[in-house]
Amino acid sequence: MNENDVLGFDPSQLSIYSQSEKPANSGNSLIYHTRPEESKSEDGVYRSTIKIIYNPFDFANSIFEQQGYWLEDADGGFMVVSALTNNDTNCPIFKAWKKCRYSDPGSVLWKQQAKATEGGNELFNKRFSRYATIQVMQDKNHPELEGKYMFMKLPKSIYDVIKAKTNPSKESGKCPIPIMDFLFGRSIDLEVKPGDGPKGSLEYKRGTSYFCEISEDTTCCTNPDKSPLLNTEEQSVLKNYVNAMRDVWKEKDPQTRDQLLAQVNADPNTAKLRSFYPSVIEKIKSFCPNVVEEFKYKEWEPAVSARVQKWIDCVLAGNLPKEQAPSAAPEMKAMPSSDDVFGPMGVMPTSNVSHPTPPAQSTATVQTNSDPFAGTPDDDDLPF
68, 82 contact by CB (below 8 A) = yes
Q: Which residues pair with 138 in a beta bridge?
A: 49
Residue 11 in this model has a pLDDT that exceeds 90: no
Whole-number Å distance between alpha carbons of 171 and 181: 24
CA atoms within 13 A on the CB side of 239: 7
pLDDT top residue among 66 and 260: 260
- How confident is the model over 12-38, as a mean pLDDT? 69
Name which residue leads in pLDDT, 8 or 153.
153
Q: What is the pLDDT of residue 149?
A: 98
**For the chain, how big is the Rg over CA atoms in Å?**
23
Q: 6-369 falls under which CATH superfamily?
A: Replication Fork Single-Stranded Dna Binding Protein (3.90.198.10)
Residue length of the chain: 384
Provide, rounded to the nearest whole percent, the portion of the chain with pLDDT above 90.
66
pLDDT at 197: 85
Q: Give the pLDDT band of residue 322 (cuts 50, 70, 90).
A: very high
Domain spans, the chain: 6-369
Q: Which residues contact 162 (CB under 8 A, 6 or more apart)?
A: 52, 63, 154, 179, 180, 355, 356
The CA angle 102-104-109, to the nearest 5 degrees, is 75
Three-state secondary structure of the chain: CCCCCHHHCCHHHEEECCCCCCCCCCCCCCECCCCHHHCCCCCCCEEEEEEEECCCCCCCCCEEEEEEEEEEECCEEEEEECHHHHCCCCCHHHHHHHHHHCCCCCCHHHHHHCCHHHCCCCCCEEEEEEEEEEEEEECCCCHHHCCCEEEEECCHHHHHHHHHHHCCCHHHCCCCCCCCCCCCECCEEEEEECCCCCCCCHHHHHCCEEEEEECCCCECCECCCCCECCCHHHHHHHHHHHHHHHHHHHCCCHHHHHHHHHHHHHCHHHHHHHHHHHHHHHHHHHHCCCHHHHHCCCCCCHHHHHHHHHHHHHHHCCCCHHHCCCCCCHHHCCCCCHHHHHCCCCCCCCCEECCCCCCCCCCCEEEEECCCCCCCCCCCCCCC
Identify which has the larger pLDDT, 34 or 372: 34
Split at pLDDT 50, 70, 90, the class of 166 is: very high
Within 215-301, where are the H helices? 232-250, 254-266, 268-287, 291-295
Task: Compute the average pLDDT of residues 331-356.
Answer: 35
Q: Which of 7-11, 46-50, 72-76, 92-96 has the lowest mean pLDDT?
A: 7-11
pLDDT in tens, 130-144: 999 999 999 999 999
355 pLDDT more than 60: no
Sign for the pseudo-dihedral over CA of 282, 283, 287, 289: negative
The answer to whether 67 and 295 have CB atoms below 8 angstroms apart is: no
